[in-house]
Structures are given as C-alpha cells and as structure tokens.
A and B are shown apart, each in its own frame.
Chain A
Amino acid sequence: MSTALGWLAAVGLAAGLVMGFGVAPREVTQGNVQRIMYLHVPAVWVAYLAFAVGVAGSIAYLAGRRPGADRLAHAACEVGTVFLGVNIATGAIWGKPTWGTWWTWDARLTSVAVVFVMFVAYLLLRQAIEDRERAARYAAVLSIVAALNIPLVHFSVYWWRTLHQPPSLLKPGSSTMPPEIVAALLVNFAALALLGAYFVTRRARLLAAEEEALA
C-alpha cells in the first residue's frame, strides 16, 4: 500500500508541475514568481491535515494504548512539521521579490511560525524521553494542547497585526482567482497530500522497525 501511495504521489507531483508551470497562467503583476504559490499554499494545507491526523492518532493512543496509534501520531506530526517548514521557506523566497523582505511579522506568517515552534517542541519532547511508552503518553498530551491552541494563536495573532492578503481560497464570497489557478492549486494539494501520506506510512513503518529492533 505504501509503494502504491508512493507511485500515486509521483504521478500527482508530475501532474502538479504540469498544472503549475503549464496550465496555470502567468500572473500579471508578480510574473512567474507567483508560481511558487502552487507549492507554498498546498504545503500548509497538508501540514495542517497532518497535524489533524496526528492529534486523532494521539487521542486514539490515549484511549486504546495501541503502539500503532502512537506511531501514526508521531509520523504525522513529524511530516506536518516538515511541510510547515516547506511552507515557511517558500513563503520567505516568495516574500523577498514581492514584499521586498524575507520575513515580516504579519499575522499569518507569525501564527504559522508559532505553530511550527510548537510542533518542533513536540519533536524535542519525544527525543528527550527514553522510555517509549512514556514518550508516547506525554507527546500525545502535548499534541492535543498544541492543536487546540492553534485557533487561539490564529485569533490572537490576527488581531495583533494583519498585513497579509486575505486567505486565497476559503474566504467568504466568491473566489477571485481564475479557474486554472484554482485547478492548479487543487491538483498540487492532492499531489502533496499523497506525498505526505506516503511519508507518514514510511515513517510509521520505520518507527515500528526501530521498536522491533530494540525489543
């Protein structure tokens, strides 16, 4: 199943490249730079999706104490952190030519950065505890705190300061984007989601192998 996911992701990524560079039109004001959006925006969606899976895994672990649920949570949070890192890095690369700066303390940048740091802390906590079972319990609690904290972070940071263009797709009223761009975004989202799922299954299997080697 993992291998199949891998191939699907590869096909999806190829399709995403075609959509992003071929089908989607050149943006009028920003030029080709804008095409980084097809990686930037889906990456953050996949990251949050992965965190949702991670929290679901954590809750399932606390309820049933099956190591499989914990491995899923661990893998998903790790992959989510990586994708969020991709989002932040591509954002900085995009920001330099368009806003003239790598980083500004605008609302969405800041809140994504806070979420990123929370999940890096999650990975640090896992690393700091040797006993696997205890690491699983503590990490599960931490991921629940971090996940429920995300809305609080978003609201507070949004009220604190806002410069960013409004969310690109899910905003009230009709979308102002041409359908080709929407299609390119969605294809790339699907491709990255497949890639994320592939990573999660591989990572979870690797964790299982690690545990087996140690047991």
Chain B
Amino acid sequence: MAWKDLLVERRSKETLNALLFFSLALLLVFQFALGPDRERLAAVLPGLLWLGFILSGVLGLGRSFLVERENDCWEGLLLTPGDKSAIYLGKLAGSLALMLVVEALVLALFVLFFNVDLGPALPGLALVIVLGTLGVAAVGTLFAAMTAQVRARELLFPVLLLPVLVPVLLGTVKVTEALLLREPLAGVAHWLKLLVAADVVYLTIGLLTFDVILEG
C-alpha cells in the first residue's frame, strides 16, 4: 500500500512539490509577520517550526485519500479480502514518509533562513520530529479517510484534526524549545512520554476503527 502511494507520488510529484512551495511561502510569511528582530524570532522559533509542520501535514494528509477516489478504487479496497488495518498502516506509512521528507527540507530552510545552529540538538530533534509526525499522521490518516467522502472536505478535515492535535503540538514545541536551548532531554522526559502515549492511543484507535470508516 505504502509502496503504491509513494510510487504514485513519485510519478506525479503533485503533493511533494506543492507542499514544499507551501512551506517556503509560510516561511516568508512568518518572516514578514515577525519582522527582522532576531531575539523575538528565536523565542517563537519552535512554535513556528511545528506550525509549519502541522499545516503542511494537514494539507498533505487531506489529499492522501484522493487517489483512492479515482475510478472507485476505494470500493476495490473494501472488496479486497483481508485485514483492513493493513490498508491503514500502508496509508499511514506513505503519508509519514512524505511528511518526513517535507519536514527535513523545511528544517533545512529554517536553518538557512533564520540562521539557527542546530548542531548537537539534531539527534534529539529527529526523535521528537518522528514522534510528533507519527501522532499527526496516525490520527490524520484516520480523519482523512473519514472526510474523503464528505462534502466540504477541505474545511472539515482541519476542523476535526487541529483540536485533537493540541497535545501533540504542545509536546513537540516544548521539547523542541528545550533542545534549541541546549537543555538536557531529561527535563522534558514527561513530554516525550506524552508524545509516545499520544502515538500509541491514535495508532490503536486507527487500527481498530479503520474498517468501520472504510465501509463506505
């Protein structure tokens, strides 16, 4: 499933290109909105970074089930015998890979544009990005499947997703903040545990309820 989605994406490059340019535009907007004051920028950087990740994630995830609508493939998925949670995991893996690629590039752009020195924070940052993105993708994949067949889809999807993501957003921002200030990870261990808990909860619900969503 993930293989298929990534192959389709490699062929069309639709989503990846759009997301990259969207992120680039976001960076510019952030810069204009905040002005050149470097101090202020440093203080809000973790929040901005995750806002960028989540917004581009929302855009990308919202499209992830569009490909299943062409030629009624959705119906084909449902008709295929076997465990539907495999489809969920495949979709999730495909979206996760795409989001991580975009996030890595956005991070590089942040370093470039805002002159941040990541250096030793990088391994910790990678950890929190994977944990946070997994949570976003896990619940996002479920909701994207839900809203794919609904009118006002592009409105409803973020309305459903964003409030649910509050814990993930808070956790990732706090950990990123600590990392950029070179604080030890032990100080934010409770946040990391919260992120893991969120990932586990979202993944479990996704696996258990995906067949209910797919049903039609």
Question: Interface of A with B (CB < 8 Å)?
Answer: 62, 114, 117-118, 121, 124-125, 128-129, 134, 137-138, 140-142, 144-146, 148-149, 152-153, 155-157, 159-160
Contact = CB atoms under 8 A, between A and B. Distances in A.
19 contacts: A117-B163, A118-B163, A121-B163, A124-B160, A125-B150, A137-B212, A137-B213, A137-B215, A141-B146, A144-B205, A148-B205, A152-B167, A152-B194, A152-B197, A156-B171, A156-B194, A159-B190, A159-B191, A160-B174
A128 B151 CA distance: 7
A126 B94 CA distance: 29
B163 A152 contact: no
B151 A142 contact: no
B216 interface: yes
B139 interface: yes
Task: Give the 8 A-B residue pairs with the shortest CB-CB distance, closest first.
Answer: A156-B167, A152-B167, A117-B163, A156-B170, A141-B209, A118-B163, A121-B160, A138-B146
B179 to A, nearest CB: 17
Contact of B209 (A125, A128, A144): A144
Given A62-B209, A152-B194, 16 more contacts: A124-B159, A124-B160, A128-B156, A129-B150, A134-B216, A141-B146, A141-B205, A141-B213, A142-B160, A149-B164, A152-B167, A152-B197, A153-B167, A156-B194, A157-B170, A160-B174
B50 interface: no
B166 interface: yes
A213 to B, nearest CB: 23
A129 B153 CA distance: 10
Q: Which of A117, A121, A140, A152 has the most chain B CB atoms inside 10 A of its CB?
A: A152
Interface string B140-165: 00110010011110001001100110
B65 interface: no
Contacts of A140: 212
Contacts, number: 78
A149 B201 contact: yes
B194 A155 contact: yes
Contacts of A146: 164
A157 B164 CA distance: 13
B198 interface: yes
Contacts of B197: 152
B166 A138 contact: no
A114 B166 contact: yes
Contacts of B166: 114, 153, 156-157
A122 B171 CA distance: 24
Contacts of B160: 121, 124-125, 142
B202 interface: yes
Nearest to B153: A128
Given A153-B167, A156-B166, A124 B156 contact: yes
A122 to B, nearest CB: 8
Contacts of B143: 142
Given A144-B205, A145-B202, A160 B163 contact: no
B46 to A, nearest CB: 13
